Amino acid sequence: TRLAELDMEERAARAVLVKAAKALHDAREKAGAALATAVEGQLKDLALARCRFTVALTTREPDAGGGDDVRFLIAPNPGEPAKPIAEIASGGELSRIMLALEVTLAASDRTPVLVFDEVDAGVGGRVGETLGRAVWSLARHHQVLVVSHLPQVAAYADQHIAVRKEVRKGRTHVVATKLDERETADELAEMLGAGGAKSLSGGAKELRAAALAWKATR
């Protein structure tokens, strides 16, 4: 009798579980479509206009996390099938896709520190400015660290740290130096071109001034 009672309780509980998993699946489908649209909109500004982003749901036996395996897929170029990001995205693509995701989810993501390494890989100066603004916008919700060689990105940073290698007594050391505003302009000039000539120095100051002016309006 007790076994029969437990069987009935299990069937009732499973019916509740299946119903809840179905409701979660439907909500995930709706949210996934909205997320994909928003992320693709961000990717257009990050020089990945042809990249298609998809949230794929694969049904499985439901548990406390629902009845879906959720994966992010991309098709970098037209005509290519969508595949998991981790399998086909290059380093630069991965950084920009993560940036697009973070910008889209900035207000709800509680990750305290974000690190972007070479987020500007394979892009030019015009896109670099968009990247710089996007990364800076994340800093209103997170602590953001960016490794960049593009002055258009670096110009939007609130604090600059120059990282260099030095050889001392036959040993290589990495030295990180916090820069003030004058040193920041000099570093941006170096990033614009070797030697930091007067014309490059003027361009670096204009680049920095434009970035500061844009940030002041936000």
Q: What is the pLDDT of residues 171-192, one digit of tens each?
A: 999 999 999 999 999 999 988 8
pLDDT in tens, 7-48: 999 999 999 999 999 999 999 999 999 999 999 999 988 888
pLDDT digits (tens, 9 = 90+) for 64-117: 999 999 999 999 888 888 999 888 877 777 878 888 998 898 878 888 998 888
What residues does 135 pair with on adjacent strands? none
pLDDT for 196 equals 56
**Tens digits of per-residue pLDDT, 48-77?**
889 999 999 999 999 999 999 999 999 988
For residue 161, list its beta bridge partners.
178
